[in-house]
Structure 1
Amino acid sequence: MSRLYKGFCETVGLLMANPSPGRQIAVVLRTNATQKLAQRLASRCAVAGIEIALVGGRGEIEDVRVPGREN
C-alpha cells in the first residue's frame, strides 16, 4: 500500500469523524490506486456529505461521483 493510498484513507476517515457544516472535499493526486479507491468510497462519502476530487499531474481535476446519483 502506497503512502498516497494510505493518506487518502486517513483523510476520508478524518472528514467522516469530524463532520463540518461547510463543504468537505477530499483532494488527492490521481493514480490508478487512488482512482480505484475513490470509486469504492464514493457512495459512503456521498452519504457523509464528502466530495472526492482527484488531481492529475498537470493540475486537471476529476470529481468522483456515485454513478446515477446527483451530489
Structure 2
Amino acid sequence: MNEHARPTPDTHQRLTDLEIKVSYADDLLDTLNALVARQQEQIDLLLREVSRQRQRGSDDGLSAAPRDPRDELPPHY
C-alpha cells in the first residue's frame, strides 16, 4: 500500500519551469527593492531641500515689507 508516485517527464519539466520563474521573480524583486530604496533617498533629499527653501522664505518674509502683486508682473506688462 505504500506506493510512491514517480514524477513523470511532464511533471519534471513543469517543476523546472516553475523554478526558473521563481528565480526571475526573485531577481525582479531585488531590482525593484533597490529602485524603491533609491527613490526613497531622493524623496528624503527633496524634502530636506523644500524644508530649507521654506526656512529661507520665512526668514526673508519676516523682515521684508508686504509685496505688491504688481511688482511681480513680467517686464513686458
Q: Which has the larger radius of gyration?
A: 2
Q: Kindly indicate which of the two structures has a greater share of residues assigned to strand.
A: 1
State the TM-score, normalized to the length of structure 1: 0.28
More helix by share: 2
Greater relative CO (CA pairs within 8 A, separation 6+): 1
> Normalising to structure 2: TM-score of the pair?
0.26
